[in-house]
């Protein structure tokens, strides 16, 4: 069979799509990039935000004309949305032929083959596993890549009241350090320069055989000599070990950038979210990280308009954002997720106009903060990993600093994607730095002429 896969959502979903591709190809199926030639179209979905649902339902509507053209075509939903909305997708609206949850991908080839052989039969497999980590499946990747992802664990035990992950991905379970290091070695052998370790709460990682911690894992992966950069996401503020901060400061190839989800800045709302830390404890963690790791950059996640949040309580969130000075923030208005504690027990009672007002003010504050932070980088020299050609101009590269700041700079002969280069930073916007190869003033004059990117 020829199978077309579309991926929505986070890096974990991107990684899962690589696993699915590898499993399918092991049964001699072919992954195609031409949707019109596919025998099966699989959408790997996310269930974290409301717009993720809207996108998938919209996409399923668009796929109906492929179904009319090819009655035998299989349309399937994979991932978190499959786990959360099986009945709606498969029975009520009859939009798809196949629904497979995140722990059942090894059964996917046989399910597809059964439907393809018998025609109209619809199937699902959404059982959550207590031990599936796919540690025996090293996803195939294209050689000479730049950024490689490795899922070190699956599921989550935190049960934040707004979050659907424990219900769509199950309880927390970790892979062994050895299996992760082996996968990292494979990525390096394929030419990958940067690896990001993925988990819903990486700080709670524990090797099921040796009891090694996340700090031990980070040390083992960063020991790989040919690895240029190592990142991780996401940690939880409640259990951020000092030993990890010290290791990040010590190791050159561990990036000096931390994603620390805030979610809210008010103690009552944090307790209602079941986040298990206070405003002061969060700010203390930020202060400690800044002290231990010189030039560290932070990013975060924030939800506004959580049930019962008042204007005064929202001001605490603004206060934390102003004091923490995040280089990047993912900011959202609260929306109910099916099966979460909040959806069952906390009415979504903050008016939409108040949510909109709050998110607008939060975004404005964050943009101002980012602008000041990035302006502070003008005149510095940054080591940048070249990641791609700019979508706006083939004359420009796009890269990332150690602190995960985006840099645009002119294409220079001899520099290629995957290289680490030293750049002089000349300009800044609220989201982007602009520079040139160190010592190459003529290149910056080209950048100045190419104002489409600024």
Distance CA 395, CA 13 (A): 32
CA distances (Å), 74 to each of 116, 166, 235, in order? 7, 29, 38
Q: Are 320 and 285 in contact (CB under 8 A)?
A: no
Q: Mind spelling out the 3-state secondary structure of 269-337?
A: HHHHHCCCCCHHHHHHHHHHHHHHCCCCEEEEEEEECCCCCCHHHHHHHHHHHHHHCCCEEEEEECCCC
Read off φ and ψ for residue 249, nearest 5 degrees.
-65, -35
pLDDT in tens, 406-418: 999 999 999 999 9
- pLDDT band, residue 444 (cuts 50/70/90): low
Please give the Cα distance from 91 to 170 (Å, whole number): 23
Residue with tokens 């929306």: 335
Catalogue all structural domains in the chain, each as residue range(s) with its CATH number.
2-125 (3.40.50.12160), 147-373 (3.80.30.20), 381-453 (2.40.50.140)
- pLDDT for residue 451: 47
Contact 75, 96 (CB under 8 A): yes
Residue 441 has pLDDT above 90, yes or no: no
- CA distance linking residue 151 with residue 197, whole number of Å: 6
For residue 222, what pLDDT is reported? 98
At 454 the pLDDT is 37
Q: What is the pLDDT of residues 96-145, one digit of tens each?
A: 999 999 999 999 999 999 998 766 578 888 888 889 999 999 998 887 78
Give 411: exposed, middle or buried? Use CB within 10 Å, 0-12, 13-18, 19+. Answer: middle
**pLDDT value at residue 127:** 84
d(CA 264, CA 273): 9
pLDDT tens digits, residue range 134-174? 999 999 888 778 999 999 999 999 999 999 899 889 999 99
CA distance 272 to 342: 9
Distance set, CA 4 to CA 8, 31, 74, 115, 276 (Å): 14, 6, 10, 16, 42
pLDDT at 356: 98
| Buried/exposed code over 114-148 (b: 16+ C-beta within 10 A; e: otherwise) | ebbeeeeeebbbbebbeebbbbebbbebeeeebbb
Per-residue pLDDT, 80: 87
CA dihedral (314, 319, 320, 326) in degrees, to 10, reads: 110
Provide the pLDDT for residue 55.
87
Q: pLDDT tens for residues 339-390?
A: 899 999 999 999 999 999 999 999 999 999 999 999 999 999 999 999 999 9
Q: Looking at 33-42, 276-285, 440-449, which range is the least confident one?
A: 440-449
Enter the pTM of the model: 0.92
The band of 208, judged by pLDDT with boundaries at 50, 70 and 90, is very high
- pLDDT, one tens digit per residue, over 37-94 is 999 999 999 877 767 778 888 999 999 999 889 988 999 999 988 887 777 777 766 7
Q: Which two tokens stand for residue 62?
A: 């668009």
User: What's the pLDDT band for 448 if we cut at 50, 70, 90?
Assistant: low
Q: What is the CA radius of gyration of the chain?
A: 23
The confidence score (pLDDT) of residue 382 equals 97
Average predicted confidence (pLDDT) for the chain:
92
Q: How confident is the model at residue 9 (pLDDT cuts 50, 70, 90)?
A: confident
Q: 453 pLDDT band (50/70/90 cuts)?
A: very low
């Amino acid at each position: 069979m020829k199978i077309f896969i579309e991926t929505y959502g986070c890096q974990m979903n991107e990684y899962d799509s690589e696993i699915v591709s590898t499993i399918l190809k092991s049964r001699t199926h072919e992954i195609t990039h031409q949707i019109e030639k596919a025998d099966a179209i699989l959408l790997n979905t996310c269930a974290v935000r409301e717009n993720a649902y809207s996108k998938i339902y919209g996409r399923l509507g668009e796929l109906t004309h492929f179904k009319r053209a090819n009655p035998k075509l299989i349309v399937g939903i994979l991932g978190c949305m499959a786990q959360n909305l099986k009945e709606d997708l498969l029975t009520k609206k009859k939009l798809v032929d196949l629904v497979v949850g995140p722990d059942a991908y090894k059964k996917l080839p046989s399910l597809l083959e059964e439907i393809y052989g018998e025609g109209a039969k619809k199937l699902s497999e959404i059982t959550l596993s207590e031990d599936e980590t796919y540690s025996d499946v090293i996803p195939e990747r294209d050689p000479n890549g730049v950024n490689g992802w490795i899922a070190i664990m699956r599921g989550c035990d935190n049960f934040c009241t707004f979050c659907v992950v424990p219900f769509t991905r199950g309880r927390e379970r970790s892979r062994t350090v050895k299996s992760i290091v082996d996968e990292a070695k494979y990525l390096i052998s394929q030419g990958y320069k940067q690896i990001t370790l993925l988990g819903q709460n990486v700080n709670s990682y524990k090797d099921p055989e040796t009891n090694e911690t996340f700090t031990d894992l980070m040390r083992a992966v960063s020991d790989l000599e040919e690895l240029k950069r190592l990142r991780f996401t996401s940690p939880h503020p409640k259990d951020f070990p000092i030993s990890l901060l010290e290791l990040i400061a010590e190791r050159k190839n561990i990036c000096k950038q931390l994603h620390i989800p805030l979610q809210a800045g008010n103690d009552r709302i944090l307790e209602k979210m079941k986040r298990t830390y206070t405003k002061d404890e969060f700010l203390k963690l930020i202060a400690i990280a800044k002290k231990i790791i010189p030039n560290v950059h932070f990013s975060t996640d924030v939800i506004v308009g959580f049930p019962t949040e008042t204007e005064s309580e929202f001001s605490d969130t603004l206060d934390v954002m102003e004091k923490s000075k995040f280089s990047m923030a993912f900011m959202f208005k609260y929306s109910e997720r099916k099966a979460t504690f909040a959806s069952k027990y906390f009415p979504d009672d903050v008016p939409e106009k108040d949510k909109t007002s709050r998110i607008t003010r939060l975004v404005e504050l964050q943009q101002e903060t980012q602008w000041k932070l990035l302006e502070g980088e003008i005149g510095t020299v940054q080591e940048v990993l070249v990641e791609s050609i700019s979508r706006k101009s083939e004359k420009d590269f796009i890269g990332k600093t150690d602190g995960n700041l985006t840099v645009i700079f002119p294409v220079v002969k001899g520099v290629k994607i995957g290289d680490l280069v030293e750049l002089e930073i000349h300009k800044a916007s609220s989201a982007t730095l602009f520079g040139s190869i160190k010592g190459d003033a003529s290149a910056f004059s080209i950048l100045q002429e190419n104002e489409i990117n600024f």
